[in-house]
């Protein structure tokens, strides 16, 4: 599990393929990275590797979001060119399983790390939406409040609860919520929250 590039280089790659000024995409990348690192720390896994998965999981989003069926079709070659191995690439692509993109509609995630990435990147949407509902305040957000929003299917309806629940094969949902909130609190200024 070696990482061929630095975090700074990963940010440059993201900039290269994500030229839009849309801050919400960047927030999503940084929040996914933060949650992945926090989960890795909790489980005693490789923080750098997990963080890089979170940061780069949507590396081709900027060039495919106008035709989402192509999402994750460009990522493998981009990552290969940067020296990432097939395992890293497979881990990244797995977060599209079940979606109408890159031929992944009928594919299922099987590995723990795949479930963690999918749950983490999906949870960012729920947490960010909840923070915005709280006028951008995350510093005093509690897992209990987030759980209520999780249960309210009409809130941030695009956040697939079943995918977030994939974390339950790894840790309880409540613990995941606590870890994830803390992780985003730690980078709140970078993602426009307070």
Q: Which residues contribute to the site for Fe ion (CB under 5 A)?
A: 58, 121
* C-alpha–C-alpha distance, residues 118 and 122, integer Å: 6
Cβ atoms within 10 Å, residue 152: 11
The distance of closest approach from Cβ of residue 22 to Fe ion in the complex, given in angstroms and rounded to an integer, is 13
Residue with tokens 């609190």: 185
Report, in angstroms and rounded to the nearest whole number, the Rg of the chain calculated over CA atoms: 16
Residue with tokens 């200024």: 189
**CB-based contact 159:146 (threshold 8 Å):** no
- Closer to Fe ion at the Cβ: 121 or 166? 121
- Closer to Fe ion at the Cβ: 50 or 139? 50
The distance of closest approach from Cβ of residue 47 to Fe ion in the complex, given in angstroms and rounded to an integer, is 19
The distance of closest approach from Cβ of residue 28 to Fe ion in the complex, given in angstroms and rounded to an integer, is 6
The distance of closest approach from Cβ of residue 122 to Fe ion in the complex, given in angstroms and rounded to an integer, is 8
- Closer to Fe ion at the Cβ: 58 or 114? 58
For residue 160, the 8-state DSSP code is -
- Closer to Fe ion at the Cβ: 60 or 121? 121
Both tokens of 96, joined, read 């599209």
* C-alpha–C-alpha distance, residues 120 and 168, integer Å: 12
């Amino acid at each position: 599990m070696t990482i061929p590039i630095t975090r700074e280089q990963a940010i440059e790659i993201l900039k290269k393929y994500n030229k839009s000024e849309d801050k919400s995409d960047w927030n999503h990348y940084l929040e996914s990275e933060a949650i992945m690192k926090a989960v890795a720390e909790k489980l005693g896994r490789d923080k750098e590797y997990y963080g890089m998965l979170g940061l780069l999981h949507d590396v081709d989003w900027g060039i495919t979001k106008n035709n989402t069926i192509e999402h994750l079709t460009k990522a493998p070659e981009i990552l290969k060119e940067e020296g990432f191995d097939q395992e890293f690439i497979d881990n990244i692509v797995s977060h599209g399983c079940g979606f109408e993109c890159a031929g992944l509609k009928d594919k299922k995630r099987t590995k723990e790390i795949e479930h963690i990435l999918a749950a983490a990147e999906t949870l960012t949407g729920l947490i960010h939406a909840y923070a915005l509902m709280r006028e951008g305040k995350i510093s005093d957000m509690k897992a209990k409040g987030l759980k209520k929003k999780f249960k309210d299917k009409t809130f941030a309806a695009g956040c697939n609860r079943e995918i977030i629940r994939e974390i339950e094969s790894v840790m309880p949902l409540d613990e995941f919520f606590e870890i994830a909130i803390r992780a985003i609190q730690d980078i709140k200024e970078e993602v426009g929250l307070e």
